[in-house]
Chains A and B, each alone.
Chain A
């Protein structure tokens, strides 16, 4: 070996800046060399020095309070804690798997800018500093503003950080085009129906008084597959306590497996069943007459209207025997007011029908006298914590919560949102932003921020969305994983996972309202940053610094907490502050207050406001859309271990449920010659094909529909575990029907046929993929 007599050559690029000689060299533990890293010392994390901190979960949006255990600089375990009213010491599978998302090697690592001249979707990127990325975004936003106005930048957000990206920053920038898929692709009909019936929205976690109820009727409500933690706990406890359960579902769901009665209803006819129950309760005079007399408006109109909806009429539509309809109605009445028909969460099913169905559902509950009564729906409001003092935003914060409050442009110089006028309600409809990107009508949308929203796995008509993205001048994606839609963006900003960050306080409307806080358990990995930081730094670049007058999140949170006599330090010690609620009407009457914020101050059966707008003042049944012959209605739902399309690269969860399958009734399978576990394709009414996907040949579903769990079928090569497994329901949703009341997009108006004989894709096991990924 020879290197002449030269001294050390110094190469400037070799100064990476990762490591440096410190001042505190310890005594040498490894004299003469390095320890052999191939045989790490044994030892269990729980035998080490374990520290814990408080957070609330972000694996779904139920947001359960959790305690995070860290050892050796790594998150090892998360748990619920008893003092938190949502987790109550327990977590669901997704929450338990949170560390596997933080340590997912496929995470986004650095800010990236799409290579100049490359196609959107081609996935060619260069690394950028945060500063450069913000400069790039700001320049494009200013150009859009100058040519089209601030309203031509749209924001979509989902997750705790969406407060910054779907509310605060759009409000500061000045665009009413800010929306969450959790509204118009999820809850919008139930919220509009609730506001126009009760004068109150439905709280984020569905305010059912499970602990007091004796009789439960679930309508397409997939508790157990939908593992919303507290709800599942209270549901299970109610059953253990002896509450009776009836499940209405075209599919023998997990909940149906726990029911005394399963009513396998014909899809899209639920409203007919509900109207028949209204009919029976009134005709047989078994409704709560005292409650109805005291608290409601328009009962006479309802009684007259419902007379036509006899159980025999409903039997012909729903395929549920009239006798069964009568029997269940009588049982409900016998248990009233401790009988309840809980409202579900994802209720955008059939579009035109959705708000009618939700109102009819509420009406049955009102007739049972359970709204604001023990064992029915309790009343709740979020605790109040002051905002950080800052100048008033040019536009009111935009997208709002699940209820989706409107952005009222009022006298401001801003144009109303692009979806205004398409429907009656006040939510902002995320799917209605897409068309204006292509057509420029009513005005162009040229910029888009997608924060935590998987726009290819939530918004129907995926090809249209891709077409719209091609028309944009700026598309920014903020996410933690390289989802397919993320790899279309001009600028990709990597967010850190919730275990690595602070977030804003979570103010929860609950039977006992509470405030919970999130603290980082570990430092962010890579060059990822929290949403609050990204929004603030970008805001400053956009000249909106005055709206972000805090230096950091600690100052922001401490100031907010001081308004309730607490502090960030105190919250670090307790995690949750629980308040007293006013769950029942009696709690309000004691204070001489009326909880029903309707114009009449009463629960409104008959809606003058709908009538004035030319809409039906009372719920009606509208014949469902029908599909082509030989096709099945495509129903979808949840895997208990997955959230939307977000968790399908989590190694632990994917191992539990690594691909979806299409549920097909045994007799239909025989007719088609499809065997159990065989791979098939799904082809929808517009020729879109998904799969290969396994057939789950089962007795657990009707013959006129098929079912898959949502969130699979990722087309994202960077997500090594998720990519190409199963079928995507969203990609098969090439049609939707707009609910004229709420702006919700009814997604269950798509039909598929089963194409047998798909090749076995020979999926590798998750364990094998995990091994290969680390040794690429």
Chain B
């Protein structure tokens, strides 16, 4: 067993969207939908401001709300913790799209649901997801949470602060935000533990 996870250092991210464009080509994501996007938010008043650049995508939850609602079993959690979709089994009912609290899923024009799969085809070859590889700010770390020497475990240990997206939902996201620029944590979210 392993638990594949990702951490994004918000102190480094500049919201340039290189990750999103790399994902688009790597995974042939159609124009009009995205597996990965950036949310830019500013708080405060001139000149005391905080701007957060926050990439968002599937969080590969440990308790994914999208999986139990699938009538065909095409949404599932892999042994390595990646939340995945089998497109051939998908009937396009959209139940999972509605169930995901993070809007991470979209309908592919060919009639099946799709989303970030941590570039499982790259992971299978021992490579990093395309977004991690290309990031010019090196803000992304990826790896197995159960391996203390993985990049993601090291990044989590070294962070001044770790936040999860809407932790109150109990979804158990495996996408961690490190070093949020605002003192209280993620902008627009209830604050969470600091480490």
Contacts and interface: CB of A to CB of B under 8 A. Distances in A.
B18 A91 contact: yes
Contact of B136 (A229, A252, A702): A229
A699 B17 contact: no
Nearest to B9: A240
A79 B31 CA distance: 20
A653 interface: yes
A416 B118 CA distance: 60
Interface string A748-774: 000000000000000001111010000
Given A76-B25, A77-B26, A254-B14, A236 B20 contact: no
Contacts of B33: 767
B51 interface: yes
Contacts of B28: 44-45
Most buried by A among B26, B33, B134, B135: B134
Interface residues of B, number: 39
B126 interface: no
A169 interface: no
Interface string A231-247: 01100110110000000
Contacts of B25: 76-78, 96-97, 99-100, 652
B50 A93 contact: no
B152 to A, nearest CB: 16
B77 interface: no
Interface string A656-681: 11000000011000000000000000
Interface in B1-30: 9, 11-12, 14-18, 20-22, 24-26, 28, 30
Given A257-B49, A766-B31, A640 B44 contact: no
Contact of B17 (A656, A666, A702): A656
A698 interface: yes
Contact of B139 (A45, A99, A236): A236
Interface string B154-174: 000000000000000000000
Contacts of A651: 31
A573 B28 CA distance: 28
B14 A232 contact: yes
A98 B133 CA distance: 17
A89 B136 contact: no
B107 interface: no
Given A236-B138, A257-B181, A699-B42, A79 B133 contact: yes
B120 to A, nearest CB: 11
Interface of A: 44-47, 76-80, 89-97, 99-100, 223-225, 227, 229, 232-233, 236-237, 239-240, 252, 254, 257-258, 262, 264, 640-641, 651-653, 655-657, 665-666, 698-700, 702, 765-768, 770
List of 5 A-B pairs having minimum Cβ-Cβ separation, nearest first: A767-B32, A224-B14, A236-B137, A640-B16, A257-B51
5 contacts: A44-B121, A91-B134, A227-B14, A252-B46, A656-B21
Given A93-B16, A236-B138, A699-B44, 14 more contacts: A80-B134, A92-B18, A96-B21, A96-B22, A97-B24, A100-B25, A224-B16, A227-B136, A232-B136, A254-B15, A254-B53, A655-B32, A666-B46, A767-B31
